[in-house]
Amino acid sequence: MLRYIVQRLIAMAITFFIIISISFFILRLMPGSFADDPTLPREVVEQLEDKYHLNEPLIIQYGYFLKDAVKLDFGVSLKVEPKRTVGEILASKIPITMQLNLFAMLFMIPIGIILGIIAAIRKNRISDHLISVVVVLFISVPSFVFASGLQYIVAFKWNLLPTVLSKEQVLNWARFKSMILPILALSFSGIATITRYVRSELCEALNSEYMLLAKSKGLTQLQATIRHAMRNSFVPLANIIIPIFTSILFGSLVIEKIFAIPGMGGVLINAINAKDHTLTIGLLCFYSVISLMTVLIVDLSYGIIDPRIRIGGRK
């Protein structure tokens, strides 16, 4: 197990290096830079290019970037939030984004599991067909479409919830109320995915031989379902629940912009549009680390959830 973890960490480090390298070259090869401002005198532009090595060959710029990246120093924001370091911006924006995504996870997991169980137990009945229609709808429609629809109908037409995020700094009822719509918009796709997986696995478990054995020993259908079918059918959920968090994190890039949430999404979009390369690369590194960590956690979770699975063992 330890050997497997070490191998995975080495592979993650190599993958991370490739990601940030590709990101650096793509951003630097794009036309224009943050110094391309017609209102700035030519002398000021030259000073900025000299300070940030923009007048050096690209490979030299890459060397400076790697030297700072090893020390986790991605420099300062050049356009979006001038004179603030990338680390400070990340520290101020990550809690807002993570709070939104964690609430979405806490909402979608139980709802998805409950709907999946109902659909499996009442297979081929009206409730199963209705849930299937909802699942197809939630998977087919993008989250930003749901966000715009909820914002227009629930917030604007019905005036039930705020249109944008509250300015409250602490998590109170007013702030949580303003987070309900973005939470719902982020949750629909995850609910559909979890429901579909739970229904599929539970239907297969209910028709398995060990369920017949359990009922032959005197267990009722409900007891056999709870003790055996559900437990075995929930093992594959580890393969989707953790990656769902990553998909929510990336999905919140647009949702945060729609609901004026001052999190990572709006900053990343502004940094790309403003050609703020240092801030853009810092944000991309954060998302890359989260993605790589979810892959590792999924692999390790199999051995924890099901002891029969041995990871990294020798043949």
Here the CATH number for the domain that contains residue 152 is 1.10.3720.10
Higher per-residue pLDDT: 308 or 160:
160
- Are 117 and 198 in contact by the 8 Å Cβ rule? The answer is yes
- pTM value > 0.85: no
The reply to whether 304 falls in a domain is yes
Higher per-residue pLDDT: 20 or 207:
20
User: Residues 195, 105: one domain?
Assistant: yes
User: Residues 152, 186: one domain?
Assistant: yes
User: Residues 130, 241: one domain?
Assistant: yes
User: Residues 183, 44: one domain?
Assistant: no
The reply to whether 256 falls in a domain is yes
* Domain membership of residue 110 as a residue range: 94-262
User: Residues 235, 283: one domain?
Assistant: no
SS3 211: helix
Q: Is the pLDDT of residue 208 over 80?
A: no
- Are 54 and 48 in contact by the 8 Å Cβ rule? The answer is yes
User: Residues 239, 305: one domain?
Assistant: no
Q: Which residues pair with 108 in a beta bridge?
A: none
40: left (phi over 0), alpha (psi -120 to 50) or beta: beta
- Are 53 and 311 in contact by the 8 Å Cβ rule? The answer is no
User: Residues 200, 138: one domain?
Assistant: yes
Q: How many domains does the chain have?
A: 2
User: Residues 100, 224: one domain?
Assistant: yes
φ, ψ at 85 (rounded to 5°): -70, 155
The reply to whether 267 falls in a domain is no
User: Residues 258, 280: one domain?
Assistant: no
SS3 165: coil
Please state, rounded to an integer, the average pLDDT across all residues of the chain.
Answer: 84
The reply to whether 268 falls in a domain is no
Q: What is the pLDDT of residue 310?
A: 55
Average pLDDT over residues 135-161: 92
Q: What is the pLDDT of residue 138?
A: 93
Q: Is the dihedral of CA 254, 256, 260, 265 positive or negative?
A: negative
What are the tens digits of pLDDT across the range 33-75?
Answer: 766 666 667 777 777 777 777 788 889 989 988 888 888 888 8
The reply to whether 254 falls in a domain is yes
